[in-house]
Amino acid sequence: MNPFKLSVDALEKKARAIRRRIIVLNAESPAGGHTGADLSQVELLTALYFRILNCSPSQQNSETRDIYIQSKGHAVGGYYCVLAEAGFIPVDWLATYQHADSHLPGHPVRHKTPGVELNTGALGHGLPVAVGLALAAKRSHSPRRVFVVTGDGELAEGSNWEAALVAAHYGLDNLIIINDKNNLQLAGSTKEIMNTDPLDEKWRAFGMAVTSCRGNDMADVVATLEGLKPEGKPHVVIANTTKGAGISFIQGRAEWHHRVPKGEEIQLALEELKDE
C-alpha cells in the first residue's frame, strides 16, 4: 500500500512543488542538469511515488515492495526531487547535487542514494534489469510489481527490444513500462534523429498490452495507471508528454535537454510555478 494515497488535486500541488525544486536544484548545480527531461516526467513520478507504488522509506528492504527504475538516468535531478519530497532522502541533500562527494551524483547510483534501486545512465540498461526483477518476482510468487520509466530517445537502444521479447515470452504482467514520450532527444526531435514511431504498433508486435495517456495530465496519468489489469502480458503505457512541461519558455524546446536556468530565468520560472 502506498503510504500517501494523495488525491489528484493534492498530486497536482505536489507536482508543482517538485517542479520548483527542479529549477533551484539545476540552477545551483556546478555541473548543470537535464532540465527538460526532469520536467517532462514530473506527473509520472509524482503519481507513482505518492499514490501508486507499494513503496516507502520504511519499506526499502521489504521483499514485497514495488520496484521503480529510472531508466532515463540523465533525468535524475527530477527523480531526486521526488525522493526528497517522499522522505527517502533529506531535502537539504538537494543543495549538494553533483558536488564533490555528494550523495546525489549526475546519474542514479544505488549505493549512494537511498531509494535508488539501480545504477542507470547508460541508456537501454533499465528495462533489461526490470525484466529480470519481474521474472524473479513471478517465479517466487511475490506480489511485487516492477515499474520502469524510459525515454523515447532511449528506445533506439536495441537492448530494450531484446528485453521486450523476454518479457512477453514469460508473460510478465507484473512489469509496467512507461515511455516518457516527449518527442525530443539531445539536440532535436526523435523523428529527425531516430524515428521510433509508431510506438504502439511496435510494442504490440512484441507482445505487449499497450495503452496511452496524456503524461502531463495528472488525472489521466492516475486513471491510466490504476486502470491497468493483469492480461498475461507486460504493460506499456505511452505517456505523451512535453519536454520541459510546466514552464512556458522551456517546454517543447530541444536546447533545454542539457541546459539550466540562469539569472532572471530562475525567478521567471518560479513565478510561473507559484501555487494557484
Nearest to 208 by CA among 170, 157, 151, 154: 170
Whether pLDDT at 192 is above 80? yes
Residue 187: pLDDT band by 50, 70, 90 thresholds?
confident
In this predicted structure, what is the pLDDT of residue 114?
97
Amino acid identity of 66?
A: D
Distance between CA atoms of 177 and 183, rounded to whole angstroms?
17
Percentage of the chain modeled with pLDDT above 70:
100
pLDDT digits (tens, 9 = 90+) for 23-50: 999 999 999 999 999 999 999 999 999 9
Whether pLDDT at 276 is above 80? no
The CATH number of 8-272 is 3.40.50.970
Percentage of the chain modeled with pLDDT above 90:
96
Whether pLDDT at 275 is above 90? no
Give the Cβ contact number of residue 271 at 10 Å: 9
In this predicted structure, what is the pLDDT of residue 260?
96
pLDDT digits (tens, 9 = 90+) for 197-227: 999 999 999 999 999 999 999 999 999 999 9
* Cell numbers found for residue 173: 504482467
Nearest to 178 by CA among 142, 154, 201, 206: 154
Cis peptide before 198 (omega within 30 of 0): yes
In this predicted structure, what is the pLDDT of residue 186?
87
Extents of the domains making up the chain: 8-272
Strand partners, 178: 149, 237
